[in-house]
Amino acid sequence: MKLGIAAPLEIADKIIPIIKKDFLQIQPILYLYKSFLELPTILAKEQGQLDALLFTGKNVLAYAEKHIRPTIPWESVPRSGSSLLQILLQITLSAQHNIFHISTDLYDQTQLQETYRELGLDYNNFEIYTIPDIPYDDTYSAYACAAHEQNYLYKKASCCITASYTVYQQLRAKEIPCYLYFPTASAIRQTLHKIQLNHLVQISQHSQIVALYLQIDTPSEYSVFNDDEYQYIIDRTNVTRQIYIFAQSIKAAVVEVGVREYLLFSTKYLLESVTNNFEKIDIMHAIKKHTASTLSVGVGYGATAQEAKSNANLGMQRSSTLGGDTAFIVYSKAKIIGPLHSQNKLSPEPKIDEKFLTISDKTEISVNTIFHLHSIIKRQGKNQFTSSELAELLGVTLRTMNRIIVKLMKHEFCFEVGKRSLNKNGRPSRIVQINIL
């Protein structure tokens, strides 16, 4: 993995040997800085080349986060009591300063007390001047440097301890004794282990098998497919074509389970990328756009391919129970999301043939009436009737039937093709031909 390391040279020189010795799978890429204010400029366009980014302190990370949005995992080496013990030992061994009078911006009072107790020392007998932990910004270095200088000159601190490389340089330039916080090798290793483990988990999750169970929904009782097997086969062929196009986009293996069912196997990363985390389920939209069918879709996750398949089948069954044209995402039996539609919306009402909806919209005749007319034509085996015949078959008055015929004629769904006398003395009835198939 490629790990970016944002650090001053002195700390980078400590991290790199650890990586070369114990983390051969990590390729370190250094981003050296003298002042943390340089970080936004240095890192602005680098994340796309990395798998993760390591900072040497939480404050530096927080400052970078204000100016750059993380697009990869960011980590910082945590501050630890062992690091403070290391610095206190260094001060003691120097024999030039003492640990009884110090100024620090590293730790709060509680952390300092715990460290001194571990040394068997009474913290209350010391003069420790701590600088408030304020957010890193453009004024931080000047503020921290002035506070340390005041503690050294007026409060008689023997030396200063800082985590800021910029503050360290400024204090040393003023000949104020200062020690720069270095994370211990143990803290660095622990952080590198965490980064590496998170990366492996991410790769594993991206490669997780995901199954999709797709079922062509059963045609409505009013659908023309019920009486036109040829048309049904043509439409099923178009559905199959759209499914294979979608499978190609997610690099999925396709198994045709039955006449109306398909099983696709892909990976979590590919499926969620193509569907934008299921915000847009393209296969459902494509089926509705290019065919006269809809799908019941189940997406199943699992630790194994078998578990993913089982969960996908559960999702598909739930979709089918609701009438189809929906999707359910099944992570486990206890975690099921849905129903989702092609644009991540709740399922619409049970589907009806689009053609009949169009006729209803144009003529302002109810969809139920259009359906009933269609059924009459199918049952009678003809599409030419007198107004009286249609009124009787539809169960409406002759006057109502004539109004319906006028609306159909207006939009060329009905034509008068002749007249017929039912008796010698009666007025001839017109014969109309209905074209709504």
In this prediction, residue 346 carries a pLDDT of: 37
In this prediction, residue 350 carries a pLDDT of: 40
In this prediction, residue 86 carries a pLDDT of: 82
Q: What are phi and psi for residue 342, nearest 5 degrees?
A: -60, -25
- pLDDT, mean over the chain: 83
In this prediction, residue 215 carries a pLDDT of: 92
- The ranges of the chain with pLDDT < 50 are 221-227, 344-351
In this prediction, residue 230 carries a pLDDT of: 59
Helix H, strand E, coil C: the string for the chain is CEEEEEECHHHHHHHHHHHHHHCCCCEEEEEECCCHHHHHHHHCCCHHHCCEEEECCHHHHHHHHHHCCCCCCEEECCCCHHHHHHHHHHHHHHCCCCCCEEEECCCCHHHHHHHHHHCCCCHHHCEEEECCCCCCCCCHHHHHHHHHHHHHHHCCCCEEEECCHHHHHHHHHCCCCEEECCCCHHHHHHHHHHHHHHHHHHHHHHCCEEEEEEEECCCCCCCHHHCCHHHHHHHHHHHHHHHHHHHHHCCCEEEECCCCEEEEEEEHHHHHHHCCCCCCCHHHHHHHHHCCCCEEEEEEECCCHHHHHHHHHHHHHHHHHCCCCEEEEEEECCEEEEEECCCCCCCCCCCCCHHHHHHHHHHCCCHHHHHHHHHHHHHHCCCEEEHHHHHHHHCCCHHHHHHHHHHHHHCCCEEEEEEECCCCCCCCEEEEEECCC
In this prediction, residue 343 carries a pLDDT of: 54
Please state which architecture CATH assigns to domain 2-77+188-198. 3-Layer(aba) Sandwich (3.40)
In this prediction, residue 204 carries a pLDDT of: 62
The domain over range 207-340 is classified in CATH as 3.40.47.10: no
CATH number of 354-434: 1.10.10.10
In this prediction, residue 229 carries a pLDDT of: 59
In this prediction, residue 314 carries a pLDDT of: 94
Q: Express each pLDDT in 64-100 by its tens digit.
A: 888 888 888 999 988 777 778 888 888 888 888 888 8
In this prediction, residue 107 carries a pLDDT of: 64
